[in-house]
Amino acid sequence: MKYFYSSFIVTLIGLGIAYQIGGFLAVYICFLLGILEVSLSFDNAVVNAKVLSKMSKIWQDRFILYGIPIAVFGMRFLFPVLIVSVAASLGMWETFLLALNDPDAYHTALAANKNQIYIFGGAFLLMVFLSFFFEEKDIKWIKLVEDNYLIHILTKTDNMPLFIAICVGMIMAYLTQNISYALSYFGAILLYMALSLFDEIFSANGVKSGIMGFLYLEVLDASFSFDGVIGAFAMSENIFIIMIGLGIGAMFVRSLTLFMVHKKTLESFIYLEHGAHYAILALAIIMFINIFHEISEAVTGTIGFGFILVAFLSSIYQKRKSQK
């Protein structure tokens, strides 16, 4: 329980501020936004835990110390403001005032560029899944998919994740016929490859490089947060209420990450990592579909949670089976 103390403290402070802004209705909306964020990012916590377990203790602490302000203020507040600022050719301060005084216009500007955001986040998450799926690993979950002759051959082929991602990118470019979408997609692929390259250079003895691991986790967090930030406007147009609600959810995701690292949850529940990556694939596909047809955040969260739940139950079954 100690891992969640800070989250409960931030929640109480955040809800207190929300009450001052808009009374009990604002408190209720923040509560709902927090649940939305956790449901959309539970798989994020699992993947974060896997990456964080390979980082040194000092960088684990820095991820919490610096990562929380970046997650709350950077990804849930400043990043959307930056997107609108660039799209509308306005200064950051002007965009902030627009969000403050005319939330409808701010939301419209953000929504007008959501497709670029979706395709960027989807491409990055697709690379996260493919890199996991085609790596050599001893534990297989869905053996029909993961443990067959074709996958064995492809796993031994160099750069298979990149090849598949490029093929998907070409299909998306053909379907959208939009150069800015193509740039967003391949920009995400390039960013993933750059982070992986520098991580390989600076990692040693299986311990991920501190700064590169930190950056990877922040980009991963950003990719997961896009859905929540855009979907939050369905509940509130007040950017401070949105930041508080999503920030509360982000805090609990961080606490859950720490809990899984210190309790070695992924070692006890061996299929959780698999379930999280299948949920990531589902989220990437949904982000691509969102470009053509809007899908509810409730559906997205349910699918992601479903994969995690099935993986969790499968892990328990396998553990009991092994004990027998």
User: What's the pLDDT score for residue 41?
Assistant: 73
Q: Which two tokens stand for residue 302?
A: 């349910």
**Count of C-beta atoms within a 10 Å radius of residue 51:** 18
The secondary structure of residue 61, as a DSSP letter, is: H
CA angle (256, 262, 267) in 5-degree steps:
95
Note the pLDDT of residue 206: 47
Helices (H), the chain: 5-52, 57-69, 79-88, 92-101, 103-112, 114-133, 143-146, 149-155, 160-176, 179-202, 210-231, 239-262, 265-268, 272-290, 297-323
Measure the CA–CA gap between 127 and 114, rounded to whole angstroms.
20
What's the pLDDT tens digit per position in 150-163? 888 888 887 899 99
- The answer to whether 44 touches 221, Cβ cutoff 8 Å, is yes
Q: How many CA atoms lie within 13 A of 263 on its CB side?
A: 13
Please identify every stretch of the chain with a pLDDT value under 70, giving residue numbers as ranges.
1, 83, 87-88, 198-210, 212, 223-224, 226-235, 237, 324
Asked whether the beta carbons of 244 and 310 are under 8 A apart, the reply is: no
pLDDT at 199: 63
Residue ranges covered by each domain of the chain: 4-323
The per-residue pLDDT for 143 is 82
Q: Enter the pTM of the model.
A: 0.76
